[in-house]
Structure 1
């Protein structure tokens, strides 16, 4: 992490990470949680949280940007431009499910996105579109498939699963199995193959 072009010291980075994790947990349970409650949950002084974040809104915006950075890296790690489309789609879905389950509040409570998060989101959607185009070109998706509609349906399935109650259960679900179900539903509908 960096602030104003300078890398943060390791202890400052740990504090920021602890604050964001505590905020994600607390705000998910109580969207009205105060900065002081977040500081207490993170195990940092109130002055630390106020020094790092100008306001609660600024904290949530930074959390959202961090989440989108992770999603972008996760999609890129799936090699959407070079891996076989089905492999890339499955890996990207699995990766993103992991991230979305950890950032449920930050990814669902900021609208509109801040400028940086919106830019990262747009780049990620471009990668998604390129992957669906490759899927159509290789025959994974039928010719003439509406790629914008396909992306919208895919994201709706992904978001529904990532925000579902299964993640609240001890041990949680198997993201790899969920990714397979999302892709099967996208490609074949709800009927069993």
Structure 2
């Protein structure tokens, strides 16, 4: 795992569980207090302080590993939606629900910035590219206006997800929120059916 002293070597199952417990605790603790110490994170994870220091060379290394782990989960969430083979509208809904679950659980980690050449930054760029590919498939299937600016559509989609995450924090279900996001993206908020009002 990037940022750990065990980087480059596979972790034993018990060590893997320990690292996951530390990362989950770090997300909880740092969400409450972004200045929290390694000792506070260790206490929340139920492990010795030395265990955290053995797995992570520094507090920043822990935060970097937390961010990398969250981005990898986002990549997996997209993979699980099968954007290249599933009908695009189905894929969009599945991916949206999956992403909302991850963002709802790993908000602090996903808010971190990454060095341009870091694995996390490259993964984020890959996510953007795959989103653009899916939107292009939707346009080709007639689900988006042929003249739609896909980068604008992507930015609106991301903004809608950001708003849906707030509702998710209040207890709304990811599947229902995904339907709201997709419906708003494709149909907007105007009245459906009939003639579209003329622009003034």
TM-score for both structures, normalised by structure 2:
0.89
- Which structure 2 residues correspond to residues 143-154 of structure 1 after superposition, within 5 A? 143-154=146-157
1:79 aligns with 2:109: no
- Look up the match of 1:177: 176
Instruction: Provide the alpha-carbon RMSD of the alignment.
Output: 1.5
Equivalent residue runs for 1:34-183 within 5 Å: 34-108=37-111, 110-113=112-115, 115-162=118-165, 164=166, 166-169=167-170, 172-183=171-182
Task: Tell me how far apart the structure 1 counterparts of residues 26 and 189 of structure 2 sit (CA, whole Å).
Answer: 37
Tell whether the 8 Å contact from 2:168 to 2:177 is kept in structure 1 after alignment.
Answer: no
How far off its partner does 1:53 sit?
A: 1.1
Q: Which has the larger radius of gyration?
A: 2
Distance 1:191 1:51 in 2: 56
| CA gap 1:190/1:113 in 2 versus in 1, 3 angstroms | farther
Q: CA deviation at 1:192?
A: 5.3
Question: Are the counterparts in 1 of residues 135 and 150 from structure 2 also a CA contact under 8 Å?
Answer: yes
1:172-192: per-residue Cα shift (whole Å, max 9, x none)? 221101000001111111235
Please point out which of 14, 20, 28 is paired with 2:23: 20
1:66-112: CA deviation from partner (whole Å, max 9, x where unpaired): 1111111111111111111100000000011111111011111x123
Question: Comparing 97-106 with 51-60, which one deviates more in the overlay?
Answer: 51-60
Find the aligned partners of 1:119 and 1:79 in 2 and give their Cα distance.
20
> What CA distance in whole angstroms lies between the structure 2 residues aligned with 1:43 and 1:160?
33
Q: Which runs of 5+ in 1 are unaligned?
A: none
Residues 158-185 of structure 1 show CA distances to partners (whole Å, capped at 9, x for unaligned) of 12222x1x4444xx22110100000111
- The 1:140–1:34 alpha-carbon spacing in structure 2 relative to 1, beyond 3 Å, is same
In structure 2, relative to structure 1, the CA distance for the partners of 1:53 and 1:128 (3 Å cut) is same
TM superposition score normalised by structure 1: 0.92
Q: Could you list the runs of 4 or more consecutive aligned residues of structure 1 that deviate by over 4 angstroms after TM superposition?
A: none
Per-residue CA deviation, residues 37-82 of structure 1 (Å, 9 max, x unaligned), is: 0000001111111111122221111111111111111111111111
Q: 5+ residue gaps in structure 2? A: 193-200
